[in-house]
Amino acid sequence: MLDIRKAQHRGKANHGWLQSNHTFSFGHYHDANQQGFSDLLVINDDRVAPGQGFGTHPHRDMEIFSYVLEGALEHKDSMGTGSVIRPGDVQMMSAGTGVRHSEFNHSHEEPVHFLQIWLVPGARGVQPRYQQVHFSAAEKRGRLRQIISPGGEGGSLAVHQDARVYAGLFDGSAETATLDVGPDRHVYVHVARGSLEVNGERLSEGDGARIRNAGALRFGQGEGAEVLVFDLRPHELPTMPQ
């Protein structure tokens, strides 16, 4: 059974240069019923105006990844990393013992639209690291491509947590996929754009769904859909490790 959270119920922030939708409580948006799910703490759907962005700020003991949908996002950090993230790229920053970074719209003409997602780590005080991998549209077309995993399997990005993330593109009745995570896992589905059916339930852009003891999930009937699927430990709320 899907516990669906519709896009219009998300928290909203309008900072002029930044338009953001918060799936879970974040910043000035607080909802006691939306404090994350399993080890998934944050999904922010951000649109940043040309030439604007987030100035240098610190993070610690968090697994943070960015998934760009449109435009280009420029990243710089205290590890000496500098990069530009474009559609198809997935960036993962393990903050660990502490890192400072900035994120700006790389363009002075076009907006950038991206998801920033936080996962609670399985251990505190790890060595900070940065990863970036490009996944082509062909790798995700009509299937769920693993983009994040604990050991970086199959060319995915490694995360310090018992979590796996998949990305897929679905359009038309011929493009279908099944993901069987087993009965002892929880799943969160986030539709980044378009719409599709998950186990017969239609989800549209910005919608999310909690699925407890997930088992097998069927994805299909997409209409320009791009979806992220989180395979997570079977507990309810994020908890920082001791």
Convert the pLDDT of each residue in 51-72 to its tens digit: 999 999 999 999 999 999 999 9
112 has a pLDDT exceeding 90:
yes
Q: Which two tokens stand for residue 145?
A: 């491509």
Give a yes or no: residue 239 inside a domain. Answer: no
Residues 6+ apart with CB under 8 A from 54: 102, 103, 104
Instruction: Evaluate whether residue 102 is within a structural domain.
Output: yes
The DSSP string of 75-97 is EEETTS-EEEE-TTEEEEEE-TT
What's 119's DSSP letter? E
Cα(108)–Cα(128) distance, integer angstroms: 30
Domain extent for 94: 2-232
State the total domains in the chain. Answer: 1
Average pLDDT score over the chain? 97
Confirm whether 237 is domain-assigned.
no
| Residue 238 within a domain | no
In terms of pTM, does the model score above 0.85? yes
> Please, are residues 13 and 20 in contact by the beta-carbon 8 Å criterion?
yes
Say if 169 falls within a structural domain.
yes
Q: What is the 3-state secondary structure (H, E, C) of 124-159?
A: CCCCCEEEEEECCHHHHECCEEEEEECCCHHHCEEC
The answer to the question of residue 92 being in a domain is yes
Cβ count within 10 A of residue 11 = 18
- Judge whether residue 1 has pLDDT over 90: no
Average pLDDT over residues 130-142: 97
Q: Binning pLDDT at 50, 70 and 90, where does residue 9 land?
A: very high
CATH number of the CATH domain containing 165: 2.60.120.10
pLDDT in tens, 162-190: 999 999 999 999 999 999 999 999 999 99
Residue 35: inside a domain, yes or no? yes
- Residue 138 domain-assigned (yes or no): yes
Measured CA to CA, the distance from residue 222 to residue 150 in angstroms comes to 29
DSSP run (H or E) holding 198: strand 186-198
Find out whether 120 and 159 touch, Cβ atoms under 8 Å. Answer: no
